[in-house]
Structure 1
Amino acid sequence: MPPPSDIVKVAIEWPGANAQLIEMDQKRPLSSIIREVCDGWSLSGSEQFALRYADGPQLYITEQSRGDIKNGTILRLAISPARAARQLLERIQSHGIDARLEALKELAKLSADPTFAAEFINMEGIGTLARLVESGTHFGEMLAFTLTAFLELMDHGIVSWDLISLSFIKQIAGYVNQPMVDVSILQRSLAILESMVLNSHSLYHRVAQEITVGQLIGHLQVSNQEIQTYAIALINALFLKAPEDRRQEMASSLAQKHLRSIILNHVIRGNRPIKAEMAHQLYVLQVLTFNLLEERMMTKMDPNDQAQRDIIFELRRIAFDGENDPTGTEKRKAMYTKDYKMLGFTNHVNPAMDFTQTPPGMLALDNMLYLAKVHQDTYIRIVLENSSREDKHECPFGRCAIELTRMLCEILQVGELPNEGCNDYHPMFFTHDRAWEEFFCVCIQLLNKTWKEMRATAEDFNKVMQVVREQITRALAMKPSSIDQLKTKLRGLNYSEILRLRQSERMSQDDFQSPPIIELRERIQPEILELIKQQRLNRLCEGSCFRKLGNRRRQEKFWFCRLSLNHKVLHYGDLDESPQGEVPFELLSDKIPVSDIKSVVTGKDCPHMKEKSALKQNKEVLELAFSVLYDPDETLNFVAPNKYEYCIWTDGLCALLGREMGSDLTRSDLDTLISMEMKLRLLDLENITIPEAPPPVPKEPSSYNFTYNYS
Structure 2
Amino acid sequence: MSLVKVSVENVASNDKILHEIDTGKSLEENIDDIRRIFQLPASMYGLKLVSTNDGKTLHTYISADNFGEIKDGYFLKLVYSLGLLSNRIFDHIDDDFKEKSFQDLYELSVDPEFIKEIVKTEKHHVVMDVFTNRDLSEKEATACLIAIVHLFQKLYITDINQKFLDKIIAITKTAKNHELTKFALSVIHKILCHRDPTFAKWKEETIHQITISDFMVFIKNKGAAELQYGAILVINALIRCCKGEKRHQFIKEIDKRSFRETVYENIIARGNVDKNMAHELYLYQTHLLSLLAEPLTSVVPESDLFFRDEFEPLDCEMKKMTLLMDFDEPSTRHKTASFDNLLEYDDVRISLASMSSRYSEDSRYSARVQSTATNESIEYEHLKPCLLTIEALRHYKKHHNKNFYQSQVEEKIYEPGIIASSERVVRMLAKILHVGMDPDRSSACYQPTIFTCSSKTPFFFELFSRTMWLLSKTRREMKASTIHDYDKVVYVLSKQVKLVLDEKPMDLKKLTEKFAQISYQTVMEIWQKEKEEELKNVFEHNPSVKVLKKRFRKQNEQIIYKQRMNYIKTGTMFPKIIEKKINGNFVAKLAPDERNLLVNDYNVITKTAGDVQVHSLADVTHIVEGKACPHVINNTVKDPQLAFSILLNNSFWINFKGADKKMASYWCDALNLLLHKDNRSSYYENELKELVEMDLVLHLIELQNVTIPKKAPPVPRPPFEMKPVVPPKPKNYPGGGVK
Note whether the superposition's TM-score is higher than 0.5: yes
Q: Match of 1:441?
A: 465
**Residue type of the partner of 2:372?**
T
* TM-score, reference length from structure 1: 0.59
Alignment of 1:61-460 (within 5 A): 61-94=62-95, 96=96, 99-135=97-133, 137-160=135-158, 163-178=159-174, 181-199=176-194, 200-223=199-222, 224-243=224-243, 246-256=246-256, 258-270=258-270, 273-297=272-296, 299=297, 301=299, 303=301, 309-310=303-304, 313=306, 316-317=309-310, 358-359=372-373, 365-377=386-398, 392-394=413-415, 396-433=417-454, 434-451=458-475, 454=479, 456-460=481-485
Q: Match of 1:539?
A: none
Structure 1 range deviating more: 366-375 or 425-434: 366-375
1:15 aligns with 2:12: yes
- Structure with the greater alpha carbon radius of gyration: 2
Deviation at 1:70, TM superposition (A): 1.9
Cα distance in 2 for partners of 1:34, 1:500 equals 61
**Residue type of the partner of 2:73?**
G
Cα distance in 1 for partners of 2:37, 2:528 equals 74
1:36 aligns with 2:33: yes
Q: Match of 2:511?
A: 486
Cα distance in 1 for partners of 2:372, 2:161 equals 45
Would the alpha carbon gap of residues 281 and 391 (structure 1) be closer, same or farther in structure 2, given more than 3 Å must change? closer
Gaps of at least 5 residues in structure 2 are 52-56, 317-347, 349-368, 376-382, 533-548, 554-688, 695-739
Would the alpha carbon gap of residues 57 and 376 (structure 1) be closer, same or farther in structure 2, given more than 3 Å must change? same
Alignment of 1:459-538 (within 5 A): 459-495=484-520
Cα distance in 2 for partners of 1:64, 1:505 equals 43
Q: Match of 1:560?
A: none
Give 1:49's match in structure 2, choosing from 45, 56, 62: 45
The 8 Å contact of residues 475 and 489 in structure 1, kept in 2 or not, is answered as yes
Which secondary structure does the structure 2 equivalent of 1:214 belong to? helix
Deviation at 1:193, TM superposition (A): 0.8
The 8 Å contact of residues 182 and 226 in structure 2, kept in 1 or not, is answered as yes
Would the alpha carbon gap of residues 5 and 413 (structure 1) be closer, same or farther in structure 2, given more than 3 Å must change? farther
Which secondary structure does the structure 1 equivalent of 2:47 belong to? strand
The 8 Å contact of residues 300 and 386 in structure 2, kept in 1 or not, is answered as no
Cα distance in 1 for partners of 2:385, 2:87 equals 64
Deviation at 1:423, TM superposition (A): 2.7
Cα distance in 1 for partners of 2:151, 2:26 equals 28
Deviation at 1:449, TM superposition (A): 4.2
Deviation at 1:214, TM superposition (A): 0.5
Would the alpha carbon gap of residues 373 and 58 (structure 1) be closer, same or farther in structure 2, given more than 3 Å must change? same
The 8 Å contact of residues 300 and 357 in structure 1, kept in 2 or not, is answered as no
Would the alpha carbon gap of residues 181 and 82 (structure 1) be closer, same or farther in structure 2, given more than 3 Å must change? same
The 8 Å contact of residues 299 and 384 in structure 2, kept in 1 or not, is answered as no
Which secondary structure does the structure 1 equivalent of 2:21 belong to? strand
Query: What is the identity percentage for the equivalent residue pairs of Structure 1 and Structure 2?
Result: 20
Cα distance in 2 for partners of 1:49, 1:282 equals 46
Cα distance in 2 for partners of 1:107, 1:482 equals 47
Cα distance in 1 for partners of 2:8, 2:298 equals 70
Would the alpha carbon gap of residues 167 and 364 (structure 1) be closer, same or farther in structure 2, given more than 3 Å must change? farther
How big is each residue's C-alpha offset from its partner over 1:464-484, in whole Å with a ceiling of 9 and x where there is no partner?
Answer: 212322321222233211122
Deviation at 1:62, TM superposition (A): 2.1
Which secondary structure does the structure 2 equivalent of 1:159 belong to? coil
Cα distance in 1 for partners of 2:411, 2:35 equals 95
Cα distance in 1 for partners of 2:63, 2:411 equals 80
Deviation at 1:143, TM superposition (A): 2.1
How big is each residue's C-alpha offset from its partner over 1:283-314, in whole Å with a ceiling of 9 and x where there is no partner?
Answer: 222234334444444x353747xxxx54x535
Deviation at 1:317, TM superposition (A): 4.6
Structure 1 range deviating more: 399-408 or 127-136: 127-136
The 8 Å contact of residues 275 and 444 in structure 2, kept in 1 or not, is answered as yes
Which secondary structure does the structure 2 equivalent of 1:70 belong to? coil
**Residue type of the partner of 1:439?**
L
Deviation at 1:421, TM superposition (A): 4.8
Cα distance in 2 for partners of 1:390, 1:77 equals 76
Deviation at 1:379, TM superposition (A): 7.1
Cα distance in 1 for partners of 2:446, 2:168 equals 30
The 8 Å contact of residues 102 and 143 in structure 2, kept in 1 or not, is answered as yes
Deviation at 1:189, TM superposition (A): 1.0
Would the alpha carbon gap of residues 377 and 150 (structure 1) be closer, same or farther in structure 2, given more than 3 Å must change? closer
Cα distance in 2 for partners of 1:184, 1:195 equals 17
Would the alpha carbon gap of residues 75 and 287 (structure 1) be closer, same or farther in structure 2, given more than 3 Å must change? same
**Residue type of the partner of 2:84?**
R
Would the alpha carbon gap of residues 501 and 33 (structure 1) be closer, same or farther in structure 2, given more than 3 Å must change? closer
The 8 Å contact of residues 395 and 451 in structure 1, kept in 2 or not, is answered as no
Cα distance in 2 for partners of 1:505, 1:25 equals 49
**Residue type of the partner of 1:74?**
F
Deviation at 1:216, TM superposition (A): 0.9
**Residue type of the partner of 2:418?**
F
The 8 Å contact of residues 7 and 18 in structure 2, kept in 1 or not, is answered as yes
The 8 Å contact of residues 13 and 74 in structure 1, kept in 2 or not, is answered as no
Which secondary structure does the structure 2 equivalent of 1:47 belong to? coil
* TM-score, reference length from structure 2: 0.56
The 8 Å contact of residues 144 and 185 in structure 1, kept in 2 or not, is answered as yes
Would the alpha carbon gap of residues 64 and 504 (structure 1) be closer, same or farther in structure 2, given more than 3 Å must change? closer
Deviation at 1:491, TM superposition (A): 1.5
Cα distance in 1 for partners of 2:373, 2:65 equals 50
Would the alpha carbon gap of residues 116 and 259 (structure 1) be closer, same or farther in structure 2, given more than 3 Å must change? same
Would the alpha carbon gap of residues 500 and 156 (structure 1) be closer, same or farther in structure 2, given more than 3 Å must change? closer
How big is each residue's C-alpha offset from its partner over 1:165-197, in whole Å with a ceiling of 9 and x where there is no partner?
Answer: 11111111111112x611111111111111111
Deviation at 1:122, TM superposition (A): 3.8
Gaps of at least 5 residues in structure 1 are 324-351, 508-521, 527-669, 676-711
**Residue type of the partner of 2:424?**
E
**Residue type of the partner of 1:191?**
S
Cα distance in 2 for partners of 1:32, 1:273 equals 49
Q: Match of 1:680?
A: none
**Residue type of the partner of 1:367?**
L
Which secondary structure does the structure 2 equivalent of 1:164 belong to? coil
